[in-house]
Amino acid sequence: MTKITAAISAVGKYVPDYVLTNKELESYVDTNDEWITSRTGIKERRILKGEGLGTSFMAIKAAEDLIQKSNISPEEIDMVIVATATPDLPVAATAAYVASQIGAINAFSYDLQAACSSFLYGMSTASSYIESGRYKKVLLIGADKMSSIIDYNDRATCIIFGDGAGAALFEPNTEGFGLQDEFLRSDGVGRDFLRIEAGGSIMPPSLETVKANKHYVYQEGRTVFKYAVSNMADVSEKMLTRNNLKEEDIQWLVPHQANKRIIEATANRVGVGPEKVMMNIHKYGNTTSATLPLLLADYENQLKKGDNLIFAAFGGGFTWGAIYLKWAYNS
Ligand code: UT7
């Protein structure tokens, strides 16, 4: 029997129009363009403005972009996964609403939350459903409205994050393209260093939690940085060694966009030059679950059938990992 692999057959994206520059941030907190650029690589990010617009707004737009470009009919989609740390509502699955809005009337859908690793883990989930033969079209969307959980008085976090969404369609492939290998990890030690303290089951929302600013992202940047650098580099290197890949076999490194310095450290360990590293952190900042699919959409025109891609991510929890995928089409 021919082996079924899970290949990405189409991508789409959406970023909001509003551009939040380093200059504008200088008017909110004690920071400056030189510090932000040299410490993170970020020049600007996109922010979703507009009353009542949540993560689903961007997820729908990214999915519609993919559907329009790929010419598939939404009724053919079997499953919609929304990878997100900022769902529209605490309980009702954002994915269910997104699926209905895009016309995926035959799909079942749910959200997947693993902070900045959500999309990477979602790639594993989507691929497993395809490889099992149970479903034929799984739409994975990474979307986050980070501006909804950021304190714009906290210079340690407000300079980093932005809003956006990206989508990828997973389909069966019998030529060997698609996901080849994965190495995913987590360590609960991380929740002291990157989290939102209130609003969950440990500390439900109250007047006091709101007054104490406990509903915003808190990050101990230096500690997270150290874990991110070593873990992203370790797992990426592991993908190469256990698949007998040399630097010249890799066409693209697709790293989570948290900090340019983390990306460069990972690239150095893998041994690839900057021309092989996908990067858009300068224009979008860290969009959490959306960084990886936004990269795919931005670089789609440069990708060729058979290209070897190494994905790597690190995020809250801690959660992290790497995936080796063979690109399946020329655009
Ligand atoms: O995607 C999920 C995972 N997240 C990450 O991977 C993020 C990992 N962490 C980072 O990217 C970096 O730690 C940050 C970008 C958050 C911070 O950069 P850093 O080089 O680790 O800075 P730091 O926190 O060690 O602070 C260095 C100095 C401090 O001043 P002193 O104590 O040396 O006088 C800070 O107070 O920079 C100061 N500082 C700032 N200065 C200007 C901190 N934030 C700012 C700022 N503007 N926004």
pLDDT by residue (tens digit) across 35-70?
A: 999 999 999 999 999 999 999 999 999 999 999 999
Does the beta carbon of 123 sit less than 6 angstroms from any atom of ligand 1? Answer: no
Distance, in Å, from the CA atom of 41 to the CA atom of 23, rounded to the nearest integer, reads 14
Does the beta carbon of 40 sit less than 6 angstroms from any atom of ligand 1? Answer: yes
Distance, in Å, from the CA atom of 327 to the CA atom of 301, rounded to the nearest integer, reads 12
Largest CA distance in the chain: 63
Burial environment of residue 307 by CB neighbours within 10 A (0 to 12, 13 to 18, 19 or more): middle
Q: How high is the pLDDT of residue 234?
A: 97
Q: How high is the pLDDT of residue 116?
A: 98
Q: What is the CA radius of gyration of the chain?
A: 19
Among positive and negative, which fits the CA dihedral 288, 211, 199, 317?
A: positive
Does the beta carbon of 58 sit less than 6 angstroms from any atom of ligand 1? Answer: no
Distance 19 CA to ligand 1 centre (A): 22
Q: How high is the pLDDT of residue 2?
A: 84
Distance 100 CA to ligand 1 centre (A): 41
Architecture of domain 179-326: 3-Layer(aba) Sandwich (3.40)
Distance 271 CA to ligand 1 centre (A): 26
Tokens of 12: 């789409």
Is residue 259 part of the annotated active site? The answer reads no
Q: How high is the pLDDT of residue 144?
A: 98
- Which residues, at least 6 apart from 267, have a Cβ–Cβ distance to it below 8 Å? 253, 255, 273, 274, 276, 277
Residue in 255, 257, 259 with CA at minimum distance from that of residue 272: 255
Query: Which class would CATH give 5-176?
Result: alpha beta
Distance, in Å, from the CA atom of 70 to the CA atom of 34, rounded to the nearest integer, reads 41
DSSP 177: -
Cβ pair 282, 42 in contact under 8 A: yes
Strand pairing of 194-196 and 217-219?
Answer: antiparallel
Return the best residue to mutate from 259, 266, 294, 320 for the ligand 1 pocket (most ligand atoms within 8 A of CB).
259
Is residue 256 part of the annotated active site? The answer reads yes
Return the best residue to mutate from 120, 225, 230, 284 for the ligand 1 pocket (most ligand atoms within 8 A of CB).
225
Q: How high is the pLDDT of residue 71?
A: 87
* The overall pTM is greater than 0.85: yes
Burial environment of residue 90 by CB neighbours within 10 A (0 to 12, 13 to 18, 19 or more): exposed
Distance, in Å, from the CA atom of 293 to the CA atom of 133, rounded to the nearest integer, reads 24
**Ranges of the chain with pLDDT below 70:** 1
Give the count of alpha carbons within 13 A of 286, CB side only.
Answer: 26
Does the beta carbon of 114 sit less than 6 angstroms from any atom of ligand 1? Answer: no
pLDDT tens, residue by residue, 291-328: 999 999 999 999 999 999 999 999 999 999 999 999 99
Distance, in Å, from the CA atom of 196 to the CA atom of 217, rounded to the nearest integer, reads 5
Tokens of 110: 């749910």
Distance 258 CA to ligand 1 centre (A): 12
Report which protein residue has its CA nearest ligand 1's atom 46: 31
* Residue spans per domain, the chain: 5-176, 179-326
SS3 74: helix
- Which residues, at least 6 apart from 308, have a Cβ–Cβ distance to it below 8 Å? 245, 249, 250, 251, 252, 324, 325, 326, 327
Domains 5-176 and 179-326 share a fold: yes
Does the beta carbon of 158 sit less than 6 angstroms from any atom of ligand 1? Answer: no
Does the beta carbon of 238 sit less than 6 angstroms from any atom of ligand 1? Answer: no
Distance 224 CA to ligand 1 centre (A): 10
